[in-house]
Every structure is written in structure tokens, then in C-alpha cells.
Amino acid sequence: EPEVTQTPSHQVTQMGQEVILRCVPISNHLYFYWYRQILGQKVEFLVSFYNNEISEKSEIFDDQFSVERPDGSNFTLKIRSTKLEDSAMYFCASSVSRGRDQPQHFGDGTRLSIL
């Protein structure tokens, strides 16, 4: 069964450094998402992406964050000048469409630790 793939599984970065989290969505999916989950807390939406542009973003997704689909398969989340509070599990998800009955399939996540 096709799945969303995220790399790396764990990233350790010094505060102030830039980090890029990578995702390969399911091949026939058109909508891509990033969520984050701070340890012990609920999953929070960051951004959605369709047709090579951001279609929705939350208030968390400020100028520190950016997303890109550099080629036909990868979908990346870049965090500039990381802060301690950016430590979290970051999930990439994809869906065939944004219809109400289309489940978003999640990757296994990247655990980001900021030191």
C-alpha cells in the first residue's frame, strides 16, 4: 500500500540553525499538509499546499517557516533560525483531494529536537 515517507526520522539541531524536513507524498495525491505535535499535546495544523502554492496556513506558520515542492515528488518544510519551542514531531500528510470525505494519510513523522 502506498504511503507517505518522511526523512529524517529524527533531527537534532542547534538553536538558530536552519532545518529542512522532507516528505514524499503518495504519488497520486494532490494536497499536501504539514502538522506538528509538541510532546504530549494535540496535533496542530501548520500549512496546506496545492498546485504549487500555499492554500491555507495557521497562525503558527509565520515567516520562520516556508514550504516548497522542489520537484515532482518531494515536499519540504524549512524552518529558519530554529528556536527551542520548535522542538516537536512534524507530520507530513497528503490526500487525493480536499473533499470532506478524503482522509489525510500521514507519514511516520520527523522528531525535531532543538538544543
Q: Which residues bind other proteins (CB under 8 A)?
A: 33, 35, 41-45, 48, 55-56, 58, 89, 91, 93, 98, 100-109, 111
Question: Closest approach of Cβ 5 to other proteins, in Å?
Answer: 11
CB-nearer residue toward other proteins: 9 or 81: 9
CB-nearer residue toward other proteins: 32 or 82: 32
Q: List Cβ neighbours of 45 (8 Å cut-off, separation of 6 or more).
A: 33, 35, 58, 60
Question: Closest approach of Cβ 41 to other proteins, in Å?
Answer: 8
Phi-psi map region of 84: left, alpha, beta (phi>0 left; psi -120 to 50 alpha): alpha
**Is residue 75 helix, strand or coil?**
strand
Question: Closest approach of Cβ 96 to other proteins, in Å?
Answer: 13
